[in-house]
Structure 1
């Protein structure tokens, strides 16, 4: 049990980083191996991209159950179960003999990762309160961004020396180590006054969150920002390796540069919010994403890596600022339903983005034009922010 505090507990923060890394690790480590996987299973690259989209959908949908479970039974036991599912499904992916078997393993892996994600963000809301949690989430996002920098490099090495399946054996090993650490070090943060009444999947439980316009608006913004990142990570291997002929090493180099920018943007977002306020940060983040979309459209016919990556570099700042100023605001009104609110936020952010990107990938757009579409999709949210309703939903700080 805990009460919100403004002073970070270093052990708690470290454990929360450990928990939130399950999701990006499952996405980024095997990106360099995707062309090899497509060749081995004899399928189109889009089918291999489904292993990411299906994971994202499961990651979000599973939170509808994981959130209420975390509110009822506590963050720690739900996190331990999630880690166990992640470890088992990683083993299933390691030995998968067909793409269908791999997709099933990825669905289960997403279900395990969703539990760790919900518990991490709920524990942050438990421990730091509504306002401070937004800044702490930005720090967690900064830690998450280390994975896109390091995981593809590790994945390339593993793939070259041990084959693409070794990426999934590494995920299993990570889960087993995390299981021991969380079991021995994680103390329960669930507040004593947490509302755990009613059925786990009772519509009224979710309606209490969904009827709040502040939540809906900011959750949709998180979804649209995440869709930009998901469109990028699924399209980049196809564009840079298959389309432009980059080597695996060159691809991971470009990927690492963008990850470094993501780290910097996410780590500095709390300071930006302290200086100019969350509303101005959100406004600037959405404007950057729109500008990046226009620039990507202008450069779409240029067949070079920099023409594809420069707009992505810009979008890293837009993504960090939108997510940092929106996620905490979405959770702010729900001190007694932090687990359920975090679950619904994850549903919007993960499943919503996964479904949206999966659908648009089948529209026949080129990789640059796919990103143009998703970057410009944030523009209506910017218009809402400038409206009278937007000024109520995200007030300017004094």
Structure 2
């Protein structure tokens, strides 16, 4: 990584970052590990498969909306406190899901789990801003995103083994165990990094408005949202394109999914190196150009689709997504020190709820999946013009 000095301060910084990696894994783990068990869950509760899928939708909804609450709480009471409370909620909700006897009980448990996961996410990214500052935080967020990308590649394999060896409830047992172990590690090792806890009201419109009125935040948070929408469009469309239209088997689909996760991991680990050498501005420009190229490529290959032809633009977009997300997220949080929790919460809201809304609106146009994905990629084209303008260059000359 970037920890090159062997001083005690750097050693403590490295240990803190290792804890943050454990902290950001809560949310992807809660989705990807039990995906293979969804049919069993629907069968166990005697409900339609769509209701089992709602356990994911409610989790994501709670994560997006919960950011607005967790952010100000992290600014007032500290990142460590919010992280530990979030882990406790996550642990309790995992146990509730494990013991669920009805689908309603299960949905409620997942709603609570989304709230717990959003608290851990907000605390982690706010701590990154506190610890590494406005310039270095973008690189560290790329490393965190690289760690997050391991989960889609590995968690379904673990979840499949747990489900086949035991049953679907074992996935939630594992989540509870993970929360217990990581919670203990954070209780012992995580230091509070909030430079100046806020006084006064926790929830005030001015706290949100002071972040939202900042054009640098709005632009870079929108980049995170639109690039995340590309990934969501791919995830929701890939089963239709690969399995229904092309007849790819479930194992082959999982293999393509895993290869794309590996591409994402490599991209997340190389982005900080590029940022170190060329800066955040050039990283964003290159990432956006790659995304536009992926969009054009998807349009070109749409008439002669094969699994490889479909996945090639996806691989390019996954690379550009990683470069855009790390650089843009760090820059979105850069203007905010004491409000890093609120800023991280609003950034999370853009990424989760905002991206979901964009994808939902475009899906309602009734377009072919490949054309719909390419639209999401090409929507980012104007951002290149803005970044190359005097205003865009000015944002990247600001020293916070």
Task: Check conservation: 2:194, 2:338, Cα contact below 8 A.
Answer: no
User: What is the TM-score of this pair, normalised by structure 1?
Assistant: 0.89
Superposition map of 1:1-398 within 5 A: 9-34=13-38, 43=48, 49-96=53-100, 99-191=103-195, 193-194=196-197, 196-302=198-304, 304-395=306-397
Structure 2 length as normaliser, TM-score? Answer: 0.88
SS of 1:300's partner is: helix
User: Structure 1 residues 333 and 247 mapped into 2: Cα distance closer, same or farther (>3 Å)?
Assistant: same
Q: Is the 8 A contact 1:64 1:343 kept in 2?
A: yes
Q: Are the aligned partners of 2:97 and 2:172 in contact in 1 as well (CA < 8 Å)? A: yes
RMSD over aligned Cα, in angstroms?
2.6
The answer (yes or no) to whether the contact 1:59–1:114 under 8 Å persists in 2 is yes
Contact 1:6 1:128 in 2 (8 A): no
Q: C-alpha offsets along residues 364-386 of structure 1, whole Å, 9 cap, x if unaligned?
A: 44443332232222223223223
Taking the aligned partners of 1:126 and 1:31, their CA distance within structure 2 comes to 34
SS of corresponding position for 2:339:
helix
Go from structure 1 to structure 2 and tell me whether the alpha carbon gap of 1:29 and 1:305 turns closer, same or farther (over 3 Å shift): farther
1:55, CA displacement in angstroms? 2.4
Task: Using the TM superposition, name which of 29-38 and 140-149 deviates more.
Answer: 29-38
Unaligned runs of 5+ in 1: none
> 386-395 vs 216-225, which deviates more?
386-395
Please report how far the alpha carbon of residue 251 of structure 1 lies from its aligned counterpart in structure 2 after TM superposition: 2.4
Q: How many residues align?
A: 390
Tell me the CA shift for residue 111 of structure 1.
Answer: 0.9
Q: Deviations over 1:238-273 (max 9, x none)?
A: 443455443443222212211111111101101111
> Structure 2: any 5+ residue segments left out of the alignment?
1-8
How far apart, in 2, do the equivalents of 1:252 and 1:335 lie? 41
Whether the 8 Å contact between 2:34 and 2:156 is mirrored in structure 1 is: yes
Moved more, 56-65 or 301-310: 301-310
Secondary structure, counterpart of 2:203 in structure 1: coil
Which range moved further: 368-377 or 130-139?
Answer: 368-377
Shifted more, 171-180 versus 382-391: the winner is 382-391
